[in-house]
Amino acid sequence: MDAPSPTVLDIPHGLPARGVVTAPRSKSHAIRLLVAASLADGVSTIWHLPDADDVRAVLRALRALGIAIHEQGPEVLVHGCAGRLPERPGASGGSDVVLDVGGSGTGLRVLAAVCCLGRGPYVLDGDASLRARPVGSVLDVVRGLGCEARTTDGRPPLRISGGPARRLPSGLACPDVSMSSQPLTALLLTAAALREGTLDLRVPRAHASLGYVDLTLDVLAAFGVPHVRDDAVPASGGGSRTVLRSQGGGLRAADATVEGDWSSAAYLLAAAAVSGGDVSVTGLGRDSSQPDARILGILEQMGALTDGGEHAVRCRGTGRLRGVRVSLRGAPDLAPLVGALGCVAEGETEVVEAPHLRIKESDRIASIVAAARAVGRPAREREDGFVIEGRAATGGLVDPRGDHRIAMAFAVAGLAIPDVRLCDAGCVAKSYPGFWRDLGRLSGMGDASA
């Protein structure tokens, strides 16, 4: 694994962000499309795959599983395995097939379940940041599908053996989604590849980021696997709020285009809000299931002006932002940006109901508070979020702790706070390799990382 760059970057300050930029493609959508296409029957075409590190890691892992994937310019051809992972050389003799997913938590959890469709044994591993993150309830998914799973103190590397699963066991329960929805996404994608059985899950009220499950359901529908979602189920009997039902039968090959990424676009829109600028982002669908589309409402609540149509959105700064209190249980990836906006806003900014921020690429509650203090703003941790008080008047050196979202969020804050410096600027490549180019163009400074 490459060591983080020691370079310290001075954030350009004082110019309003203005212009039109195309949203990068969504890594969350891309990973789900790649996995669905790999498990489908036939050859699928995926258009406009992003060049993010997480997506590249999942591509490598799928190829290590024996999936044939050919990249031809903007299109990627995926030869699906029809729900049966190819026999790998040495696997039948007990040798491990090693999958390196880099820093991708989504890749780790989803592919752990997918490995139940092969003979294995498989070992899933990644970089130092991934090895520090708990595997969570995906272990229950793997075991529920009839396979064995072993970890090191509940963290990667993760070894899976005992497959292949050929039908859905009866009575499968919804995995624990209190800290992450990814185990449920892993189960839904893998279950869809099985030819026999029906999935009937009750999803508890206490969930994290369930909007990403909606994104998974949209992908499955594109590959011919419809789901019935009933949100009207009474809350009695364990507090269930949603029932998901799926009939087995396998996925069908499809052609699909990766959506524009709301998670990345949020930083560009916020750049206008903090600097008094005017930014339009094209390539976004307002009807997307991506949870981070919530950023428009948050920016409006803080005092910015937003509007847009079917394919583009716009944000205009008014020269003044006010603090907010917001629950980010369903959209935790917005927390670093809300924290950075709070460093520019007047009054107090508070994020609540997001304890799962502790187990992201960094402990994001601690990282956000440390970054806010670094730019001169009083801040404190909460068990389920953080509080940022008073407007920052001076900048300082921000260490994103290798976390791409902390780096991008406080780069945006640096447009409005003088003398903000950022180390390890290259960590943004995990999700948004073109971030510095786009931010530099909008701020009139060229490529901000050059």
The burial class, CB within 10 Å (0-12 / 13-18 / 19+), for 125 is: middle
CA 421, 425, 427, 433 dihedral sign is positive
Distance separating alpha carbons of residues 435 and 273, to the nearest angstrom: 17
Distance separating alpha carbons of residues 185 and 281, to the nearest angstrom: 28
Query: How are beta strands 325-327 and 349-352 bridged, if at all?
Result: parallel
Name the DSSP letter for residue 11.
P
Q: Around Cβ 316, how many Cβ atoms within 10 Å?
A: 19
Distance separating alpha carbons of residues 430 and 402, to the nearest angstrom: 10
State the residue for tokens 């989604």: 177
Residue pair 344/274 in contact by the 8 Å Cβ criterion: yes
Return the C-alpha torsion angle 428, 285, 356, 122, nearest 10.
-70
Known catalytic residues are: 333
**Where on the phi/psi map is residue 224: left (φ > 0), alpha (ψ -120 to 50), or beta?**
left
Token pair for residue 430? 């995990």
Residue 127's nearest CA partner among 96, 95, 157 is: 157
Residue pair 147/161 in contact by the 8 Å Cβ criterion: yes
Residue 121's nearest CA partner among 81, 150, 155, 145 is: 150
Name the DSSP letter for residue 174.
P
Name the DSSP letter for residue 363.
-
Which run of H or E residues covers position 90? none
Residue pair 252/223 in contact by the 8 Å Cβ criterion: yes
